[in-house]
Structure 1
Amino acid sequence: MAGLTAAALAVIGFFAYQASAAQERDGKPSASHSAHPSPGKGDGKGDGDKRTPAERETALPAGSGKGPRVVYALKRQRVWLVGKDGRATRTFAVDPSAVSPRPGTYKVTSRSAHVQGSDGVPVENVVRFATVDGVTIGFSAALDGSTPDPDPSHKTGGIREKRADGKALWLHAPVGTPVVVVP
């Protein structure tokens, strides 16, 4: 019985994907539009932007580069994983570090599967990309799932994400991957 249910869900998912792709070819937004925004589109600057506030919040920032990359928006506290086709494959909220990088383009410089974070918390899937005033900046997920507020009196560089998001970023961003930081 469980096998039939799984098969039925797979078929429904396939048909939903096909319908979504057909709508996008016709120029009509699909329900999945906010999860896979097009680069440079929907920046909220033009007249007639009919997206919801949530769709505008999760839209890939215009002018955030080309090709496969990681995009980190400082004010929005959000990350996008962008594929070869320039479309976001995943976006998620993060908790910023006490020390932030300046807007610009960086590259992943190193990674660690499991280490102790600069705040003393054990973390995984660490992806480092910048150094500011001697503080190394990178994305990480706490093993206990915590996402504490940064303590401004303690200079830390860990940008915290949920564990599932950390795993996705780890798989997406080997050493050398561009990381574009936008305001």
Structure 2
Amino acid sequence: MDLTQTLFEVIDMRSFSNLWFWIMLALIWSGASHRVIGVPFDMVVRARRFGGQSERDLVDMVRINVNRMLHVAHVSGSWLIGLGAFVLSSLLLLAFWYDVEFAQAVVLIALPLAIVTLMSLATARRIAAEQPAPEALCRRLGRHRFWVQVIGMASIFVTAMYGMYQNLSVAPGF
């Protein structure tokens, strides 16, 4: 027996039964809910709590990230939407038509992240149009983070249920 065969017998390399997949899923959603429109949420909390320079830093950071997002959307938004739609539809086809488990795992991460990306762009456009005061900006970012967390929790739940189904369906005797 060679080393590769031994490793593949000891470590299950399928997506939903692999510990690294679940660690990556948790890290992705943790990162998505920590950075709201590219701004670390601890800046929002600090601005709410202390005001002053923390508020000015938050407003500057949000302005920079909103302008960056809107510039990218204006310059290459059509291309990015087309490329994203192609990649997601290809993944969906591989995942559920051709029954590729790795593609299923990627779809269960990428599809909700695509929704969060569109939601972030909509929030950035709203912030750019309204130019809210720092208190209103903190509320808007908090509300955005709440909905990102709701999408993340739903995504993790659906992924866990689907992953358990996949693991049970390949188990002997099921």
TM-score (norm. length: structure 1): 0.28
Higher normalized contact order (CA 8 Å, seq sep 6+, divided by chain length): 2
Q: Which has the higher strand share?
A: 1
Flag the structure with larger Rg. Answer: 2
Structure ranking higher in helix proportion: 2
